[in-house]
Amino acid sequence: MFAGPRRLAGRSRSWLAQHWRPATAIAVVAALLAGGGVYAATSGDPPAETVAAEPAAPAPAPRVVIREQPPAEETEDLGFPAFATKNTTRVSGADPVADAAAVALAVFPSTGAVAGPDAIALVDADDWPAGIAAAALAAAPVSAPILLSEAGEVPELTAEAARALAPGGSKATGGDEAFAIGDAAVPDGIDALELEGQSPAELAAEIAKLRGRLAGDPEHVVLVSDSEPELAMPAASWAARSGDPVLYLERDQMPAATRDVLAGLEDVPAYVLGPESAVSEKAIAEVRKVAPTVTRIAAEDPVESAIEFARYAAGSFGWDINDPGHGLVIANAERPLDAAAAAPLSANGTWGPLLLTDDPAALPESLRNYLLDLKPGYLDDPTRAVYNHAWMIGDTEALSIGLQAEVDELAEVTQVASGSAPALGPAPGATESQPDQPPQDPRQQPDRDR
């Protein structure tokens, strides 16, 4: 374990702001082919050369084209938010290590004399359960973004991000600059509190206990499968939003470490994410012995399960995202640690739930239909409308450019006639057996039944 001065050998944050900038090698061009507008977005220093839009034949409808520019130097891409459309921003990391560093620096910019986090949470890149449970530390007042180590070492991207963030500890973090979870390696110059456990349940219990010492007892507890990462991923965004701990269940039983935490939380309700195929009724029966109430929120498919959680609300628990005007975070279900990397985006900025796709090339029908439900509209004045924004997590291997363009279109505010809904046509897969819905102004729609 490395140890060092609490503020990087006496360097101040202002010194870092003047002398350190993240290395990035991506330039983005977004061309609206129908409208002819060209916009360039770059990050890093020096700026990359703007790529001119190529002439294109007239298209039947506006669409967005985004091109990558090859790196001008042999530098690693930090995954910094560089790909952007009107309603989406992409964190374009090739892996969760890069995504975590980029999100941390997007939430806590290292320039402009903006205060950084008091602490960071460090997780091993091979330990998805620890990453999802650590998301509770991203919630206020601890507000610790997650960075990832790899193979027992600190990747350069993580080291650079840690130097820029310069955590110094505070009362809210118990004086600690970092929390090293499980086998996570720690960057030089940072003191870290170590959290250890022999299983996902034990390590998650230690994180829950730490969060309780720093911020008090939670209002709720989220229980997820320790063997189905794609079903557990949405818990990370809620943990960052609320501070509610994430604890683990085996399919047919409750681990002792989870039982001990629940037994110590009097009158705190538990919510299980995942269908019976992941967490059986037998396991839930054990939870009921120590928790006052237990509620399951799930669908069999991970994509639909994430949507169910985004829609769900019960008192102060749940996102209740059933109308326009929200932030969203979208990730690939095959990259579970992207849920941990992106968690701070659900506790800052546009505060949105994590949604999943199991297809990197195109939106699943259920996700497309959900985004269509949330599509914002206006009658006369778009400046008085509400808007949606989506963070896209991962490079184009994780989420394609075409998928991002589709999300952008579904998030776009559109004009509607009085008493009518946005006219986008039926969603793919719609059947005649589905009843027609009476037209409504999207701003006056009642809450969806849950």
Over residues 246-280, the pLDDT tens digits come to 999 999 999 999 999 999 999 999 999 999 999 99
Q: Are residues 319 and 291 in the same domain?
A: yes
Cα Rg, the chain, nearest whole Å = 22
Provide the 8-state DSSP code for 339. H
Percent of the chain scoring above 90 in pLDDT: 71
Q: How far apart are the first and last CA of the chain?
A: 48
Within-domain flag for 428? no
Within-domain flag for 438? no
Q: Are residues 44 and 109 in the same domain?
A: no
Number of structural domains (the chain) is: 2
Among 448, 449, 358, 355, residue whose Cα is nearest residue 410: 355
Q: Are residues 197 and 106 in the same domain?
A: yes
Q: Are residues 390 and 319 in the same domain?
A: yes
More confident residue, 436 or 201: 201
Q: Are residues 140 and 249 in the same domain?
A: yes
State if pTM tops 0.85. Answer: no
Centre a 10 Å sphere on the Cβ of residue 423 and count the other Cβ atoms it contains: 11
Within-domain flag for 422? no
Single residue among 18, 46, 74 that ends a domain in this structure: 74
Please report how many Cα atoms fall inside a 13 Å half-sphere around the Cα of residue 399, on the Cβ side.
Answer: 32
Q: Are residues 65 and 95 in the same domain?
A: no
Q: Are residues 292 and 345 in the same domain?
A: yes
Within-domain flag for 69? yes
Q: Are residues 199 and 280 in the same domain?
A: yes
Q: Are residues 125 and 193 in the same domain?
A: yes
Within-domain flag for 316? yes
Which tens digit of pLDDT belongs to each residue from 299-341?
989 999 999 999 999 999 999 999 999 999 999 999 999 999 9
Domain that holds residue 280: 90-397+404-408
Residue 249 CA to residue 450 CA, distance in Å, equals 25
Residue 135 CA to residue 129 CA, distance in Å, equals 10
Within-domain flag for 177? yes
